[in-house]
Structure 1
Amino acid sequence: MYFLFSILYLSVLFSENEKSLPHYFTEEELINKSLIYSMSRDTEPPLSPVRNIAEFEPMQGVLIRYPFGISTSMIQEMAEDVIIYCLVSQSLQNSAYNSMNNAGVDMSKVEFITGSTDSYWTRDYGPWWVVDGNKNIGVVDFTYNRPRPNDNAAPYKVSDYLNTSYYATDVVHCGGNYMTDGYGISASSTLVYEENNMSNNQVNQNMLDYYGVHTYHTVEDPNNTYIDHIDCWGKFLSPQKLLIRSVSGTHPQYNEIEEVVSYFESTLNYYGEPWEIFRVYTPNNQPYTNSLILNNKVFVPIMNSSWDDDALDVYEQALPGYEILGYTGSWESTDALHCRTKGIPDLGMIQIFHNPLNDIYEPQIEGYNVLATIDDLSQMGLVYDDLKVFWKNNSSSEFMPIQMSICDIDIPDCYQSNIPPQQEDTNIQYFITAQDYSGRYERLPIAGYYDFSVVATQLFDSGDINMDNITNILDVVLIVNYVLGVGELDPYQIQLSDLNNDMIINILDVILIVNLILEN
């Protein structure tokens, strides 16, 4: 009875309230703060193993709300690539349509999810997504940490609209204070413990059971503001990369921010390696970390500040190949672009998991092994001929494909290929592609490439094709037979044969090796 009364009371308070409530608690909400716990829903957790989907994975859409918290020009840009899922009350749907249509938004890419909302912070109250043990994507809901029943109902509305599984835990939380790497490592400020009526261990157990989070980093919020949200100072850019704000040594929060950096420097990513930490300078508390990664684009809040360009440069350095887009808005240090948008994952995505290669310090005769697990959630089947690694070195103009094959080791859905061995001091860039029979084509990273350097000296000199430490007529015979198509060379021998480094073995290389022998 108390639960029903509370929801009815709150619904009367906030129904059809189409002016956004503030990010902070109103005075009335503070009085009724305890009613948050009456909004909770609790189901059995998804079938394990559970994986919480990260922001930087393939997205089919983005969730916003009308009246908007972002510009229609930004919506227009997003609609070029993904579906705009717009939460809107039925009475305002025509207004929402006209607003976007008049701004030139491709309305064939807009879908309306009708129902009242209390605010436009879809990040904070929007759905969190998981892949369950049956390899189905569904929503795992939480209790929104504001007494706003319309916002709190949004995840269920989205799940119902998209016809996905729906689960719920009674953990009180919000999306602005949560980030995950997609591999079971997540992070929040300690606000998540402070606002729950359960022990810290119980919170952690719920995060494990419902979201598959086995490592939950919780730190004191370093910003000393009312909001205590992690997206106001940090962001996972990938399973290996982390962005954290920086300030001058005279800034009042300098020590607290650097303590957070030191904490993450002492932790490891999923693959047991140190995080690659990038810093973005925020001298006047600019919300540069409050960005949205949406497939191959990154939407960054800018402030018409002299530091905007430097902030965009940091994103370009951290995410090479991504399109970095700066947008102005009614941003504040505690509320910006990320707070007002929420990605909707591709419900049938191809999952590609890979630990990028690090710099090579030892000679590799067989080349550099690229290993990935690839799985199609559409369950239509992978197109095996299209599982490839594309690579190039610093003397190449184009990426070259290498077919992937099933791994030698017993790992489900594991595929591998070898990038040919390279000369010392060579930089290599590469990415992985996959296609399935649903027509989906994915690549990892979604944009740009991974890169590593070959620091090690080769075991054998160029031209020593038979690797006997002598360059002579025997090596000439091997390369001539290969050019004529009557002999085979392994990848390392091909590298030793390519004396002019043009990625082609031909008569020019034969001439060079003959000259090399004559000079000796």
Structure 2
Amino acid sequence: MNERIRRKEGACRKLVQIVLCLLVSINLMGNQILTANAKETTYTFPDENQKHEGTWLIWPHAHTYGKAYARSIEPIWIEMVKALAPGEHVHIIAYDQKLKKHIVSKLNEAGVDRNQVDFVIAKSDDVWARDTGPMFVYDAQGQLHIVDFGFDGWGKKTPYRKDDRIPQTVAKATGIPRIDVSKFVLEGGSVDIAADGTVLATKSAVISKNRNPHCSQAKAERYLKKYLGAKKFIWLEGVTDEDITDAHIDGFARFYDAQTILTVPEEDFFDLYENIKASDYDTLQEATNASGERYKIVEVPLTSKNVTGLDYKGSYLNYYLGKEVLLLPVYDDANDQTAVTIMQNLYPDHTIVPINVTALYKNGGMLHCVTQQQPLSQAE
């Protein structure tokens, strides 16, 4: 009998120990969940109107599309560096040391202050730094990070594997922490973000058969909220397969500030793409900001005629706002001066630098497409 009692008591003690272990495990799991939640960080993509530390460029090379391609567009890069360098740093991604030596020679010929220019050696497929280069964001403490979204050649239309690795190389070279979001494909030119966190984008360039095909709008918005600080969304339908980008927003609509959208006149809007929807024009005209206020609309016309050698018009809205200058795409068109005047009125503290982008536009983009700003660090 005593032996039976001892066995029961031993079994009870073991049961109590098991229960206590389970309770401790549950408590620890709860603490881990709380700790993970406490570490959840939302990042913020700074307003492009803010003064920044410098500009990133990917220099044209012959390794993907040949020497003629690189030669035809390189003068645009020299003009950009010459205009930007007096007011800010210019960070150049060069394919290899041989190309770096060539670039230095060209910049010396142009009289560029070499103290304002530095280099990162990284292999690339092409030149579109807005879409393939580093995107800089702040964390909750104001520290600078590089958010590294996936890049797949605008829906696997072009070579892209080297371009997809550029943010990793830049993060390693600069020591700026990198946030890996490679499972979500996003190009910088596909979203425009106002200071109040409102995002302007086309679904065709973010969530369509060519980009994140299995991603819902709600899931895409969660990515944009977490990694870019989005608070409100203005979605246009856009158009797929009429250009390589599937209607990136930065070609025809941009935030001037949190109360103003720059876009093209109605007659030009329907010249942008053959299948663009009237509802997209209406969405822009009726959009409201994060405070619920209707935007002021400022219209900037397309070129008056088709760009030389192309069967479509050119946009002036793909400009790049530097620290002291505004780089404005022009096309040797009658409307070039109209665009210069509009931009000078909008940005009176910036020098407007017109750059003929006809050779670049033939390959799918303009000046905003090939530049990426690096914000000031917290200390600056």
TM-score by length of 2: 0.74
Could you tell me how far 1:223 is from its partner in structure 2?
9.6
Question: In 2, are the aligned partners of 1:78 and 1:84 still within 8 Å (CA)?
Answer: yes
- List per-residue Cα deviations over 1:193-222 (Å, max 9, x = no partner): 011032222111111122221223221226
Match of 1:97 in 2: 104
In structure 2, runs of 5+ residues without a counterpart are 1-36, 61-72, 154-158, 306-312
Which structure carries more relative contact order (alpha carbon 8 Å, separation 6+)?
2
Match of 1:471 in 2: none
Larger-gyration structure (1/2): 1
Match of 1:243 in 2: 262
1:258 to 1:346, Cα distance in 2 relative to 1, 3 A: farther
Aligned counterparts of 1:114 and 1:186: Cα–Cα separation in 2: 33
- List per-residue Cα deviations over 1:75-107 (Å, max 9, x = no partner): 111001111101012332111111111111111
- Give the letter aligned to residue 289 of structure 1: L
Match of 1:107 in 2: 114
Question: In 2, are the aligned partners of 1:72 and 1:100 still within 8 Å (CA)?
Answer: yes
Give secondary structure in 2 for the equivalent of 1:335: coil
Could you tell me how far 1:160 is from its partner in structure 2?
2.3
Aligned counterparts of 2:288 and 2:231: Cα–Cα separation in 1: 13
Aligned counterparts of 2:272 and 2:191: Cα–Cα separation in 1: 21
Aligned counterparts of 1:275 and 1:296: Cα–Cα separation in 2: 26
- Give the letter aligned to residue 58 of structure 2: R
Give secondary structure in 1 for the equivalent of 2:267: coil
Match of 1:164 in 2: 176
Choose from 142, 155, 170 the match for 2:167: 155
Match of 2:234 in 1: 217
Choose from 55, 59, 77 the match for 2:52: 59
Aligned alpha-carbon RMSD (Å): 2.6
Aligned counterparts of 1:185 and 1:250: Cα–Cα separation in 2: 22
TM-score by length of 1: 0.55
Aligned counterparts of 2:38 and 2:142: Cα–Cα separation in 1: 14
- The runs of 4+ residues in structure 1 deviating greater than 6 Å are none
* Mapping for residues 117-266 of structure 1, pairs under 5 Å: 117-146=124-153, 147-169=159-181, 170-190=183-203, 191-194=205-208, 195-196=211-212, 197-221=214-238, 225-226=242-243, 227=245, 228-246=247-265, 248=267, 252=271, 256=276, 259-266=279-286
Give the total of aligned pairs: 307
1:151 to 1:224, Cα distance in 2 relative to 1, 3 A: closer
Question: In 2, are the aligned partners of 1:235 and 1:244 still within 8 Å (CA)?
Answer: yes
Give secondary structure in 2 for the equivalent of 1:51: coil
- List per-residue Cα deviations over 1:106-145 (Å, max 9, x = no partner): 1111100011111111111112221111221111110113
In structure 1, runs of 5+ residues without a counterpart are 1-43, 348-376, 379-439, 441-520
Could you tell me how far 1:257 is from its partner in structure 2?
7.3
1:289 to 1:320, Cα distance in 2 relative to 1, 3 A: same
Q: Which structure's residues are more often strand, by fraction?
A: 1
Q: Which structure's residues are more often helix, by fraction?
A: 2
1:114 to 1:267, Cα distance in 2 relative to 1, 3 A: same
Match of 2:348 in 1: 320
- Give the letter aligned to residue 296 of structure 1: E
Match of 1:15 in 2: none
1:114 to 1:294, Cα distance in 2 relative to 1, 3 A: same
Aligned counterparts of 2:86 and 2:109: Cα–Cα separation in 1: 16
Could you tell me how far 1:302 is from its partner in structure 2?
0.4
1:80 to 1:244, Cα distance in 2 relative to 1, 3 A: same
- List per-residue Cα deviations over 1:222-248 (Å, max 9, x = no partner): 698323211111112222222112263
Question: In 1, are the aligned partners of 2:130 and 2:370 still within 8 Å (CA)?
Answer: yes
Give secondary structure in 1 for the equivalent of 2:300: strand
1:100 to 1:257, Cα distance in 2 relative to 1, 3 A: farther
Aligned counterparts of 1:313 and 1:257: Cα–Cα separation in 2: 30
Share of identical aligned residues, percent? Answer: 21
Question: In 2, are the aligned partners of 1:176 and 1:229 still within 8 Å (CA)?
Answer: yes
Aligned counterparts of 1:183 and 1:247: Cα–Cα separation in 2: 26
Give secondary structure in 1 for the equivalent of 2:233: strand
Question: In 2, are the aligned partners of 1:46 and 1:132 still within 8 Å (CA)?
Answer: no
Question: In 2, are the aligned partners of 1:287 and 1:332 still within 8 Å (CA)?
Answer: no
